[in-house]
Amino acid sequence: MELLNRTFIAPLDREDLFAIIKEIDNIVDALETVAHRFEIYGVEQIKPEAKILSEMIINCTKELKSVVENLKDSKNTKLIKEKIIEVNRIEDEGDIVYRNAIKKLFSENRDKPIEVIIWKEIFGFLEDTLDACEDVANVIEGVVTKNA
């Protein structure tokens, strides 16, 4: 934020950059929350669905990295929009993985309530992280549309 206040950036308003940075920070916060849950609960074995959701988060953040790198050049609007669509697609797919993970968790662990509680929370935070990625994409989409 200090660098933003000291730097002149012509293509985007400072308010738009602040909104983007704030949403990116929400991704970082969500990832920290997930990491802390693994530590707090002493999770030693990762469920396959958590791995899938984690890969989706990685893919979303790679797409967002590309979007941010291309924000400087207004000629890259088409590429930016394609990347934003991909982030939204991944997040939608993540919703399906999340719902199926919860359904499987409850059906296969009826006699393990503590495990259900732990993994329901972890899956929820992983899905929240994907939502945060989509929020960044949505803010950037609005900024790009505004400046087109």
In-domain check, residue 93: yes
In-domain check, residue 24: yes
In-domain check, residue 6: no
**What's the pLDDT at 89?**
98
Owning domain of residue 59: 13-147
**Are the C-beta atoms of 144 and 38 separated by less than 8 Å?**
no
Model confidence over 39-62: pLDDT tens digits? Answer: 999 999 999 999 999 999 999 999
In-domain check, residue 8: no
In-domain check, residue 5: no
What's the CA gap between 133 and 128, in Å, rounded? Answer: 9
Q: Give how many domains the chain has, as a whole number.
A: 1
From its phi and psi, is residue 8 left (phi > 0), alpha (psi between -120 and 50) or beta? Answer: beta
> What is the CATH number for 142?
1.20.58.220
Model confidence over 5-39: pLDDT tens digits? Answer: 554 455 677 888 889 999 999 999 999 999 999 99
**What's the pLDDT at 76?**
79
In-domain check, residue 1: no
**What's the pLDDT at 8?**
45
In-domain check, residue 22: yes
**CA distances in angstroms from 34 to 92, 96, 99, 128, listed in the order given:** 20, 19, 18, 9
**What's the pLDDT at 11?**
64
What's the CA gap between 122 and 125, in Å, rounded? Answer: 5
% of the chain with per-residue pLDDT over 90? 75
In-domain check, residue 7: no
* Contact partners, residue 104, CB within 8 Å, separation at least 6: 49
